[in-house]
Amino acid sequence: MGPSETTKSYSTPAHGGQTSPGLATPLRFLKGVGPRRAELLAKKGLETVADALLFVPLRHEDRTRLTPLRSLVPGQAQTCSAEIVGLSPPPPGRPRVPFSVMLRDASGYGTASWFKGGYLARVLKRGQRLILHGKVTRYKGTVQLQHPEFEIVEGDDDEQLHAGRLVPVYSSTEGLAQRPLRALMWTLVETFARGVPDVLPEAVRARRRLVPLAEALLGAHFPPSEAALVAARRRLAFDDFLLLQLGLAILRSRTARERGIAMAPPGDLVAQLRASLPYTLTGAQERVWGEIRRDMAAPDPMQRLLQGDVGSGKTVVAGLAVLTAIEAGYQAAVMAPTEILAEQHYMTFRQILGPLGVSVTLLTSSLKGRDRAARRGAVATGEHACVVGTHALVQEAVEFRRLGLVVVDEQHRFGVAQRARLRAKGEHPDLLVMTATPIPRTLALTLYGDLDVSVLDELPPGRRPIRTVARTESKRREIYAFLKDQIREGRQAYVVYPLVEESEAVDLKAATDMARHLQAEVFADLTVGLMHGRLAFEEKDAIMRRFKAGEIHVLVSTTVIEVGIDVPNASVMLIEHAERFGLSQLHQLRGRVGRGPWKSYAILLHAPHPSEEARRRIDVMVETNDGFRVAEVDLQLRGPGDFFGTRQSGLPEFRSADLLRDAAVLEEARQEAQAIVAADPELLAAPHRGLRRELLERWRGKLALATAG
């Protein structure tokens, strides 16, 4: 069966059979693929020809200029071509010794070595010619490639493809070597790229000076020049971004057309809260509150993101919004991603709103039976004006009497789909999303393109930068002495333990043992408290109250204190196993100190040889207190997928765009998306039909465009 015969029956429904012939063909039906290779390709997510065309290379190697062995420069990643003249596998029983080969080319000799390279004995042979790419070091006087990627050059290979040009290097998988994969890609690109329909409106393409799609596909895989590669990437990235931004713009324009609630009460409760605060709001808080108040007063539903570094004072701003909704006769819901965070928010909101006569309740799934039913009932009748809970508040069938405002903390885990569900509840409540992970502005547009953004870019006055140091075990005694000094001066301390889910029990035991040890042997004349997620809410609440009241001097805790704890008198935080924490987590934790007028400290105690990435994280923490900088490095280290949690958020994945590399294209795509949606909100005009089809496919069910057309 040839590819063309199978086409019709396999075109995907989303394409509605309108794709050019061939693109929906399963790869296994192509000549030279076969079931086994098809299975390997499927592992890479490649099922059809269309998938494969968008399987862009990881990188390209410039093999117009292979480096002679003699000219390899230590410290750089380079590519060379050489013959194997000797092999030295690790001796039997010593698997830790690297597998090395001796290499020769016309210029001289070199070596290559691989750790855990035992399997190479079956792969490499004397006399083979290899193309190698990797980091060069100098070892005992000779140049050495360390753990290079390599390809075995076979006599019958088409060298036009694998050498003398910018050669694509794909993410491969065991059993699927680089060369046959490249040869397959070449065939696919040559056969099908020119037939891919270009759905980008011609006017946009011309305005943004983008190459046609066929040219971009050819150039992304087998670019004739560096410039062609750059142009190709730009075009493909633009498409990815445009489809994302179009979806967000459509969601947004729909919300704007919905009728929401206009809430503009006289402001008595707000005035009371202001009067009760021991401080005045910062300029940034006033500005942001102004933005929120305007949104709430307007009849269309607020869709606002509030970004602010830890300690910038988001809570009180959210409190003002909650009071405004309540004074207008509505209820407000405050949602957090986890139960622990919900409990913490409950403590905070009860504390600031309770004295004003506002009834605040907590709804989590750990509440059971009658209590839960009673609380739900009181929410449904409107007896409770403010409800704090987890994101499950949206999912579950919790009923409100009149829900007017929803405040969501920690945007990352609250995705587009949840927002849509929320909008469906009641009378289109206003939405305020808060995030303590500040994100570079251009990047915020990708995930939050359907939200307005407010930024608290000013810390309350009198804050002093927290001094952060990195230490190892050998300094433990001095660290304890320092904590004692701080406590003697009247301050309090946190000692934080990581809690990794897989070994929760073990970690919990470590924290418990530590608390006992500290109480018995280190701080015998002081009071040590222990706080962790397994405690009942009342116990946590009691411990927090005692810590706040100064009755507990040292609070040993698992990461449950990450967000929301606010004890200005605490001036020092010791973080154990700092190498195990993520960067944003470290920054959040550190934000628990430095909240009072005293000089504050964060001590990162780490294992002697942390991984390179852990080292980077710790270094950044020591270097800066700036949350924006921390977020940037975090993004670099984790990569956008993980950083944004795009999978959870329900946004379509990028196929070839790289948020870091292509950030400049993003803004262009956003402008075009807004212009398109402004002119044609459901993409029904002829030039937009292709985009509409593509969009439906990428966003799967999440966008449900009006089905006409």
Q: Which is nearer to ligand ADP, 172 or 569 (CB)?
A: 569
Smallest distance from ligand ADP to CB 646, Å: 25
Q: Of the candidates 111, 282, 324, 656, which one interacts with ligand ADP according to CB under 6 A?
A: 282
Binding mask 458-497 for ligand ADP (x = CB under 6 A): --x-------------------------------------
Give, in order, the Cα–Cα distances in Å from 163 to each of 60, 64, 104, 110: 11, 7, 18, 21
- Nearest residue (beta carbon) to ligand ADP: 313
Please report whether residue 124 would count as binding ligand ADP according to CB under 6 A: no
Smallest distance from ligand ADP to CB 462, Å: 7
Segment near ligand ADP (CB under 6 A), from 94-102, 103-111, 307-315, 371-379? 307-315
Please report whether residue 540 would count as binding ligand ADP according to CB under 6 A: no
E strand or H helix at 294: helix 283-297
Q: Of the candidates 81, 245, 303, 315, which one interacts with ligand ADP according to CB under 6 A?
A: 315
- Determine the 3-state secondary structure of 357 from DSSP: coil
Segment near ligand ADP (CB under 6 A), from 122-130, 212-220, 275-283, 603-611? 275-283
Please answer whether residues 552 and 546 qualify as being in contact, where contact means their C-beta atoms are separated by less than 8 angstroms: yes
Number of residues in the chain:
709
Please report whether residue 311 would count as binding ligand ADP according to CB under 6 A: yes
- For residue 181, give both structure tokens: 């994969």
Separate counts of helices (H) and strands (E) for the chain: 26, 20
Helical packing angle, 226-257 and 416-424, nearest 10°: 10
Across the strands, what pairs with 305?
433, 453
User: At residue 283, what is the residue type?
Assistant: G
Q: Which is nearer to ligand ADP, 201 or 313 (CB)?
A: 313
Smallest distance from ligand ADP to CB 492, Å: 14
How many of the chain's residues bind ligand ADP (CB under 6 A)? 18
Segment near ligand ADP (CB under 6 A), from 62-70, 261-269, 280-288, 444-452? 280-288
Provide the 10 A C-beta neighbour count for residue 590: 25
Binding mask 595-614 for ligand ADP (x = CB under 6 A): x-------------------
> Which strand ranges, in their side-by-side order, compose the sheet holding 570-575?
467-471, 601-605, 570-575, 492-497, 554-558, 528-531
- Determine the 3-state secondary structure of 505 from DSSP: helix
What does the alpha-carbon distance between residue 250 and residue 677 come to, in Å, rounded to a whole number? Answer: 6
Smallest distance from ligand ADP to CB 129, Å: 60
Q: Which is nearer to ligand ADP, 316 or 510 (CB)?
A: 316
Considering only residues 562 through 581, tell me which ones interact with ligand ADP, judged by CB under 6 A.
566, 568
Please report whether residue 281 would count as binding ligand ADP according to CB under 6 A: yes
Smallest distance from ligand ADP to CB 400, Å: 25
Place of tokens 């080969």: 101
Smallest distance from ligand ADP to CB 314, Å: 4
User: At residue 425, what is the residue type?
Assistant: K
Q: Which is nearer to ligand ADP, 457 or 566 (CB)?
A: 566
Smallest distance from ligand ADP to CB 467, Å: 19
Provide the 10 A C-beta neighbour count for residue 541: 16
Helical packing angle, 283-297 and 314-327, nearest 10°: 30
What does the alpha-carbon distance between residue 286 and residue 280 come to, in Å, rounded to a whole number? Answer: 9
Q: Of the candidates 79, 303, 307, 312, which one interacts with ligand ADP according to CB under 6 A?
A: 312
Q: Which is nearer to ligand ADP, 148 or 313 (CB)?
A: 313
Segment near ligand ADP (CB under 6 A), from 29-37, 176-184, 253-261, 305-313? 305-313
Q: Of the candidates 27, 310, 360, 362, which one interacts with ligand ADP according to CB under 6 A?
A: 310
Q: Which is nearer to ligand ADP, 198 or 458 (CB)?
A: 458
- For residue 44, give both structure tokens: 């890479």
Provide the 10 A C-beta neighbour count for residue 408: 26
Please answer whether residues 288 and 302 qualify as being in contact, where contact means their C-beta atoms are separated by less than 8 angstroms: no
Nearest to 648 by CA among 374, 419, 344, 308: 419
What does the alpha-carbon distance between residue 181 and residue 37 come to, in Å, rounded to a whole number? Answer: 10
Please report whether residue 436 would count as binding ligand ADP according to CB under 6 A: yes
Please answer whether residues 471 and 608 qualify as being in contact, where contact means their C-beta atoms are separated by less than 8 angstroms: no
Q: Which is nearer to ligand ADP, 219 or 591 (CB)?
A: 591
Please report whether residue 316 would count as binding ligand ADP according to CB under 6 A: yes
What does the alpha-carbon distance between residue 630 and residue 309 come to, in Å, rounded to a whole number? Answer: 10
Note the residues at the interface with ligand ADP (CB under 6 A). Answer: 279, 281-282, 285, 308, 310-316, 436, 460, 566, 568, 591, 595
